[in-house]
Structure 1
């Protein structure tokens, strides 16, 4: 994601080199946000038809077991057709794709976005981040190299990543954290802030566009922690690594599940089979375990005390398995949003078992641990956990809780495979 123009350039980029980057950064940031909002809007409209209009017309329960199984299986068939027949096959195997990567050919983008929108609408346990970022990179690099052939593709890619992260989270902070982590140790001219200058503009433009046209929020309405004590610190230090261990269970299982679906060989077998399994899991875990998980997490957290520890544990396990199935069988989507639900449910299990733990400590610490295990993005995991807590007093606890959780996950299998199907470490 580096924005290097020339390794031999001066160590400090002067203003005359930074100012020309402003307009491209604004254009890419706004474009990335509009791409994200457009896909999300199409998915929401289709979701309304599948889960409200059609059940009402057929006089069936929108979240009855039969309807969930039918819709998710049909979604698998629809996505399978896109992967099979649409040009570019909706991009490479999503099990081996992270947030970013080399730019795809622009002709792949329509199929990738269509597959993602269908999965989002149909209730698949994946988020919009990976397909949206991959599509934004493809379009930004393709158009950018034609508009300014002298700028390297990595420059345009970094703007697309930053703009999309800003749009996804409604703030440029997450993009700054991701890019600063990616730039560590990479050669390039100028200071870190010189190299972040244009991406931060793109992230700010993407975030502002989303805020003006939508209402992004990771705040879950948790009661704020105003005066943390030693008990809160102990709880965070215990819950975060336990959440990381729970997330790691999925990381260890992922390559085996991917190989099992791979034996079916054809997308019209793999993805519909995955859809059927997701429908059965939805019937087992309930409607909160469907979809990408952001609104469902808010609903779950807003009902503290309603569900027993057993019910919460069931939802955490079902959602984790659903995330693994969706990512392993070939559905296109990201893993951050459903992992947040997994962490929130796990944290509420801890809070239900030990009521003395403050809900904000339990939920945000568990989300931190699960995200560290499933993404290995330390800064983003910390950022999301802190935003969910919505309490400045939690930040110091989460920073400390990151340390034992990171010791649990470092060097362990990731929720991402190489092109031979082996887990990355």
Structure 2
């Protein structure tokens, strides 16, 4: 074929984009940025994990308890509220984005990174039922932008977007258990196409791969635990049968309803805490933290189990649930969904952290609770729960399917058809519910147009 083909719209071809000197330089910078960003992310997650262990295991043992007592969440969450309120109201960046707003938005400016880190280290170890993924993305994006001078950030907004995305991908590359999940998430969330899509893919993949290498190496060399999202043991999978789809499709729709309801409540909590004065915001933030603590306490009282299971982000409890579903009664699983779900909804609109990890636990718990249904089982129930919760909360169906497959490991090959059907069902259901909510909230005669925004 003579010459280099051009796109029909006259824009640059993929070859033009990849061979451009500026893009090759950007690709090199992205790879180099992955190293310091991953080191910072490793330090953050390791410190958060150690604080979490100290607060929920070491301190209760020192006080003479075999596990955290039922009342432990009340002072822990009160302290979290008192510490995070001034960070939200006084520091640049307000401690990071509000979790109910999702994971998107512009890259975090470097000046806001200290507040994001402080808010996360205050909230997550003390049990605000949120995950580390959103603070990690903000940390990675903000640190990546330090490689670009402020003048360049003003003149080249596309450079800011790509480097911020690469930094975010590097930071969360292994907290999801697989660097490909991070890259796919950033790509799908960006909503780009054509050469722009590939131009974003390669920096994210390179930064994620290097980030995973750094995480893995430092975890092996130091022996420190990072608490990455993974399921060391899952129920043995088999090829899905009609019964799995018969129960799996409505279960995915119910999980979508649960997640959308939680996010709807979270938006109302956000309106409650977002006041015209910093003092009112601080007071209501503390009240919400105490309400989260009350929900976790209710779980411990109802089940007699450790409040730690409901208080933390969810990856540890999820791994335990997947490894031994029989250790949980249906009542305990439903109590976890109810109490942790309420706590998650309140935290989404008031505290700081990520929404995905706890949602995965809620979906898995509801799925395992439905596993005894005739013709169902633990394996398909877990697959449906993971995929449906991820699709409902992230609104990224491809990412959700990849994440579910990564968590199930080698068993995902047989479960993939059910994973995909559950993902699509939950995604369509959640979008329909959100659109209905927007329609009902619009003034009479002025319903909002359809969409996923």
**TM-score class, shorter:** 0.7 to 0.9
Residue 241 (1) aligns with residue 248 (2): no
- How do 1:251-400 and structure 2 match up within 5 A? 251-262=263-274, 266-286=280-300, 287=307, 288-329=309-350, 331-352=351-372, 354=373, 356-390=375-409, 391=411, 392-400=413-421
- Taking structure 1 as reference, are residues 57 and 380 closer, same or farther at Cα in structure 2, changes over 3 Å only? same
* Structure 2 partner of 1:171: 178
Whole-angstrom CA distance in 1 between matches of 2:452 and 2:290: 28
SS at match of 1:168: coil
TM-score normalised to structure 2 length: 0.81
Contact between 1:170 and 1:207, CA under 8 Å: does it hold in 2? no
Residue 67 (1) aligns with residue 88 (2): no
* Structure 1 partner of 2:169: 162
Contact between 2:169 and 2:208, CA under 8 Å: does it hold in 1? yes
* Structure 2 partner of 1:207: 212
* Structure 1 partner of 2:36: 31
Could you tell me how far 1:250 is from its partner in structure 2? 1.3
Could you tell me how far 1:235 is from its partner in structure 2? 3.1
SS at match of 2:244: helix
Contact between 1:219 and 1:387, CA under 8 Å: does it hold in 2? no
Could you tell me how far 1:261 is from its partner in structure 2? 3.7
Could you tell me how far 1:88 is from its partner in structure 2? 4.3
* Structure 1 partner of 2:5: none
* Structure 1 partner of 2:141: 137
Runs of 5+ unmatched residues, structure 1: 1-6
* Structure 2 partner of 1:224: 236
Out of 181, 186, 195, the position equivalent to 2:188 is: 181
Could you tell me how far 1:335 is from its partner in structure 2? 0.4
Could you tell me how far 1:145 is from its partner in structure 2? 3.8
Contact between 1:224 and 1:389, CA under 8 Å: does it hold in 2? no
Could you tell me how far 1:260 is from its partner in structure 2? 3.4
Give CA deviations for 1:184-220 in whole Å, capped at 9, x if unaligned: 455x6x3744542222111111122222233645225
- Taking structure 1 as reference, are residues 355 and 118 closer, same or farther at Cα in structure 2, changes over 3 Å only? farther
Whole-angstrom CA distance in 2 between matches of 1:21 and 1:119: 35
* Structure 1 partner of 2:422: 401
- Taking structure 1 as reference, are residues 59 and 250 closer, same or farther at Cα in structure 2, changes over 3 Å only? same
- Taking structure 1 as reference, are residues 14 and 383 closer, same or farther at Cα in structure 2, changes over 3 Å only? closer
Out of 55, 78, 86, the position equivalent to 2:83 is: 78
Could you tell me how far 1:301 is from its partner in structure 2? 2.7
SS at match of 1:227: coil
TM-score normalised to structure 1 length: 0.86
Whole-angstrom CA distance in 2 between matches of 1:191 and 1:152: 12
Contact between 2:266 and 2:349, CA under 8 Å: does it hold in 1? yes
* Structure 2 partner of 1:4: none
Could you tell me how far 1:80 is from its partner in structure 2? 1.6
Whole-angstrom CA distance in 2 between matches of 1:21 and 1:407: 37
Give CA deviations for 1:242-298 in whole Å, capped at 9, x if unaligned: 221222221332222333344696343122212211221111113211111100111
Q: Which one is further off, 232-241 or 309-318?
A: 232-241
SS at match of 2:164: helix
Whole-angstrom CA distance in 2 between matches of 1:385 and 1:82: 35
Whole-angstrom CA distance in 2 between matches of 1:88 and 1:387: 33
Residue 412 (1) aligns with residue 402 (2): no
Runs of 5+ unmatched residues, structure 2: 1-9, 220-225, 301-306, 439-447
* Structure 1 partner of 2:262: 250
Aligned length: 410
